Structure 1
């Protein structure tokens, strides 16, 4: 490609047929390659952005994924309030990330619920907290697995909902222009899980969550 010319208008960008509308974004590659210079005498190598000197390590990656405070309040506000979703979903997610939704552990803390009624609505046997219900529950978590498959991503599930939103909404390998899109998917998913949870409690609805 370099020998044919990969700058704008170069021979590397000549095609056998006319590009379809969704293929025309390939022109963005010209800007990515603009400052790339190939050097025959230098061997290619991988570079781990989190640690360019020592390279990749499982320990370093785990520390990054589990670091507390990685999702700042400022970043949280920016990610939430600019999305084109219904206001009630905004409010729900805002309350979720502050542990203010009426899960059974919160109802117990407010003395609305009894100690013998704290099991997860999904029937997994664990205590129902916001992080467990919407992220880690075996039953409701099937929705997340289907979404991971749909998006074609591998995902290490963090402990908290805020960290989950941060990592899910900023996936590696997906253009920045798509980050808003996947964040909306995250918000829609937790909203749907919450609605299904309420249906199971108040309407005795049993759903297999086959999607």
Structure 2
């Protein structure tokens, strides 16, 4: 609630003190909060001035590629990594795919989750099924026809998929 508070003011008597506008809503937010709390248990604060350090080899010299490897190695192998972007496509395509993988596109359920009212319930392409990322990009007959035409254009066979993760 207080954006100008310091880290030190959030830590008192060995415990973290939070003042949220709203508590985590369960699901992904609750699991992310739990993961953050576990990481914060390892934090030790000191009275010294802040400074930057890089404690990963080689030679304690910061290199972006080394930082990326350190971050990706800390991610669970069960969780797919979407941090590798394709440099041959426009950045807006990379951002779109990243948001698609995180299920952060403005689909009807995502808009409703953010309390944005939508005047329809079904897919805008087929008007048959509930709109979701899997339906829009995999299961919808219209999108399947588009995938088939892309396959013909590229002279490849498009497999039948069940989810965006398989894509």
With normalisation by structure 2, the TM-score equals 0.47
Q: Which fold has the larger relative contact order, with Cα–Cα distance below 8 Å and residues 6 or more apart in sequence?
A: 1
TM norm structure 1: 0.38
Q: Counting helix residues as a fraction of each chain, which structure ranks higher?
A: 1
